[in-house]
Structure 1
Amino acid sequence: MVNGIRRMSALKNNEMTNLSSVSDFYSGKTVFITGGTGFMGKVLLEKLLRACPGVSKIYLLIRPKRGQEAQERLQQLLCSPLFDKLRKERPTDLHKVLPIGGDITQPELAISASDQALLIRSVNIVFHSAATVKFDEKLKLSVTINMLGTQRLVELCKRMDQLEALVHVSTAYANCDRYEVKETVYPPSIGPDQVTSLVETLNEDLVDSLTTKLIGNRPNTYTFTKALAECWLKENRENLPLVIVRPSIVLSSIFEPLQGWVDNWNGPTGIIAAAGKGLFRSMLCDSNKKADIVPVDMVINLMIVSAWRVGTTKPKDLIIYNCSTGLRKPITWKNFVNSCFKYMRKHPISEVSWYPDGTVTASKTINLINRYLLHWLPAYIIDSFVWISGGKPMMLRVQDKLTKASGCLEYFTMQEWQFDDENVRNLVTTLDESDKKMFCFDVAKINWDNYIENYILGIRRFIFKEDNASLPKARQQISRLYWVYRILQVISVLCMWHFLTLRNAPLRNLWRSALQLLVHLARMLPFV
């Protein structure tokens, strides 16, 4: 038995010795990225350039948008603060990034014949992160992007002569219709080809009317189409060197290149930002459930390493990685929300509407009452004053958007899942110490308190574009609002009590007795 364990250990050590380092694997390689202009795509691009300096070229699929061509959008992307370190230390490496005009929703990805030929003969590694992440997206568009877009990319990848790895970004919630999710593909209730045929055949109104029945127990079209894409990939991957990475709720970076970097309002970030402004104070949420949050840079590191692993070992089986924190570094929604409010008061946003405070509740009734009293009533009052003064009312529209955004999250804040991550833990053991440090995706290393503080600072800096010089003034404002907030709370309680005692003789007598007792005790004090 002991000799058998030693032989297995020796084989493992030999395997690790024969593998190149992650950075060396990317030397001389050409990479193609879809979704490169998105939140995760930007972090992936920056990390590849910075941590894998030997990479030859990186092609980004970019569609023209709002009158901007692909090249113009690329230049705008590279001006992001995310690339400050690269611009300072190795600015010429940014020239390795080249745009490929295209559109994930169009046949052949709308890539020109010449660009297709370029990709086919030169690309070694593909990262597919393009997707619509809108939970309330119409099924027809969600299928077009998340399903058909994936199919079109795979068709292109199968023609690539030098392909060594294809990394498909899915979501841990693709199988949220089951409590325990292992690192395997689960067949959906309806096949991907059937759904594709329905969407392509029927008009959009008819597809909308069938959406609820089609998605079944899943909460939205996003998780449904992600599950369909996984199933289709398993059935049609053939000999592609495919790996699937499933992150849970992706938030700001924990370590690099900028702590707390976040550039979008998706998921909890929009709600937290609104709470920091004093605009959002109550949400339906089971505070004792786990908030399965994962930093974006850890997800990106896992993606980069998973491509290295499949490219160097060439496994026959489809490997899936659940990138989550619930098992090895759990945090409850209660602790997450409380920490967010703690640091929103320590590092307040300028020009807040009201003192940042709030609560989460698992009671739909209490949340509904809070929503009317704390969200809609103040919005009506403010908009009325604005309208009377000749301004443009907007608070009701803001609250409408926040209500819809929080509604999309309620399914995930009222439940929890157990995402098995054995493949991720095993992958860590194949890395040498330098790669473990450079491409860290070990969620056990997360310090939640530090992470959430940097997350709040990141929202302040990158979402609201505020620097640290504005903090002293913002803290003075939040201090004044705190006392106004507390005084109004006391006045509200006294008014409520007075209202009750006027209509209830026993309460009125109790109130008088309590006052008499307080006066009597005060007279007994030596200094009175």
Structure 2
Amino acid sequence: MDPAEVLMEEAKARQKPILEAATRGDSEIQRFFSGTTAFVTGGTGFLGKLLIEKLIRSCDVKKIYVILRPKKGMSSKERISALLKDCVFDNLRETNPDFGNKIEPVEGDVAELQLGLSVQSWVTIAEEVDVIFHMAATTRFDETLRKATLINVRGTREILALAEQCKNLRSFVYVSTAYCQATRDRIKSEVLEQFYPSPIYPDALIGMAESMGDERLVSITKE
């Protein structure tokens, strides 16, 4: 057998107990998510795709709303169709060919006020969603201050506003970047799993991004 095939078989063997446990569907986590309706931002990203696959395959969720913006000439529905062809869904496609029926695209943009959602989409999510996973973010280190602020800071504020209006919300999960606390005063120091004060008040930063000209923003980005 080819060495690569040997490694693959060994990996599958290690996964077997995990897959068997998932098939039973009786874990505390599976019971929590079973029958829930989720809302996911960043669903087309690396972690987002894995999350969606796992929720459908292992947790038997009722529905997953995925916020998408039109991109490269593709509508939100076309982007979902492309997403479902990803290899991460290969195993799920074999066991549950109709899994795509549980995924509902919602046109919007995390960088916009109210997430760029229509009034009807906002109301529908507020009425139906039990669980929110906020994973959308720009992770470019050279991103412009305006774009980084509108997506990562204001976008999080806007989805929290939506979460507050969800009538049946049971869980809000926020996935941050690994370097959100990489400020100068923490160089060569231990960064703990705790909340740290922001170097600048978030609403002040949002106000700057919304009102300042490009030249001024670029000039203060280093600071």
Q: Give the partner amino acid of 2:199.
A: S
State the 1:68 CA deviation.
Answer: 0.9
Task: State the SS of the aligned residue for 1:181.
Answer: coil
State the percentage of identical aligned residues. Answer: 40
Question: Of 48, 57, 65, which residue of structure 2 is paired with 1:41?
Answer: 48
Please tell me whether the aligned partners of residues 105 and 145 of structure 1 are also in contact (alpha carbons under 8 angstroms).
Answer: yes
- Structure with greater helix share of residues: 1
**Which sits farther off after the overlay, 128-137 or 163-172?**
163-172
- Aligned counterparts of 1:28 and 1:188: Cα–Cα separation in 2: 37
Aligned pair partner of 2:115 in 109, 113, 119: 109
How far apart are 1:115 and its partner, in Å?
1.3
1:94 to partner: Cα distance: 2.2
Question: Which residue in 2 is equivalent to 1:211?
Answer: 221
The yes-or-no answer on 1:79 pairing with 2:79 is no
Structure 2: which 5+ residue stretches go unaligned? 1-25
Name the SS of the counterpart of 1:212 in structure 2: coil
What is residue 203 of structure 2 aligned with on the other side?
193
Query: Which of residues 66, 74, 82 is equivalent to 1:60?
Result: 66
Name the counterpart of 2:176.
170
* 2:38 equivalent among 31, 44, 53: 31
Structure 1 unaligned residues grouped into runs of 5+: 1-18, 214-528
Moved over 4 A (4+): none
State the 1:201 CA deviation: 2.0
CA positional deviation for 1:138: 0.5
- Counterpart of 2:98 in 1: which secondary structure? helix
SS at match of 1:166: strand
Given candidates 186, 192, 195, the residue that maps to 1:182 is: 192
1:122 partner letter: E
Superposed, 1:291-440 pairs within 5 Å as none
Would you say the 8 A contact 1:31–1:123 is kept in 2? yes
Please say if residues 129 and 166 of structure 2, whose CA atoms lie closer than 8 Å, have aligned partners that are also in contact.
yes
Alignment map for 1:12-23 (pairs within 5 Å): 21-23=28-30
Letter in 1 for 2:221: T
* AA in 1 matched with 2:168: Q
Aligned partner letter, 2:163: C
Measure how far apart 1:176 and its partner are: 2.5
Measured in 2, the distance between the counterparts of 1:113 and 1:172 equals: 33
Output aligned runs, 1:448-487, within 5 Å: none
Match of 1:395 in 2: none
How many Å separate the matches in 2 of 1:23 and 1:120? 23
Q: Could you tell me how far apart the structure 2 residues matched to 1:24 and 1:204 are?
A: 49
Deviations 1:3-26 (A, max 9, x none): xxxxxxxxxxxxxxxx97111111
Q: Are 1:138 and 2:144 matched, yes or no? A: yes
- The Cα shift of 1:204 comes to 1.2
TM-score by length of 1: 0.36
**Larger RCO (alpha carbons 8 Å, 6+ apart):** 2
Deviation digits for residues 322-346 of structure 1, max 9, x if unmatched? xxxxxxxxxxxxxxxxxxxxxxxxx
User: If the length of structure 2 is used for normalisation, what is the TM-score?
Assistant: 0.83
5 Å-filtered alignment, 1:220-259, equals: none
The alignment of Structure 1 onto Structure 2 pairs a total of residues equal to: 194
**1:366-404: per-residue Cα shift (whole Å, max 9, x none)?**
xxxxxxxxxxxxxxxxxxxxxxxxxxxxxxxxxxxxxxx
Q: Distance in 2 between matches of 1:189 and 1:112?
A: 33
Instruction: Confirm or deny: 8 A CA contact 1:129 1:168 kept in the other structure.
Output: yes
Counterpart residue type for residue 84 of structure 1: D
Matches of 2:208 and 2:174 in 1, distance apart? 24
Q: Give the aligned residue type for 1:27.
A: S
Q: Secondary structure of 1:71's partner? A: helix
Matched residue, 1:123: 129
**1:513 — aligned with what?**
none
Distance 1:176 1:194 in 2: 19
**How far off its partner does 1:195 sit?**
1.4
Larger CA Rg, structure 1 vs 2 = 1
* Partners of 2:103 and 2:115 in 1: CA distance: 19
Letter in 1 for 2:76: A
The equivalent residue for 1:94 is 100
CA contact (8 A) 1:49 1:94 kept: no
> Distance between the aligned counterparts of 2:176 and 2:113, measured in 1?
21
| Aligned residues: CA RMSD | 1.4
Structure 1 contact 107–152 (Cα < 8 Å) conserved: yes
C-alpha distance in 1 between matches for 2:100 and 2:114: 27
In the alignment, which residue of structure 2 is the partner of 1:417? none
Query: What letter matches 1:195 in structure 2?
Result: L
Local SS of the residue matching 2:221: helix
**Partner in structure 2 of residue 339 of structure 1:** none
C-alpha distance in 2 between matches for 1:89 and 1:107: 39
Q: 1:51 aligns with which of 49, 58, 65?
A: 58
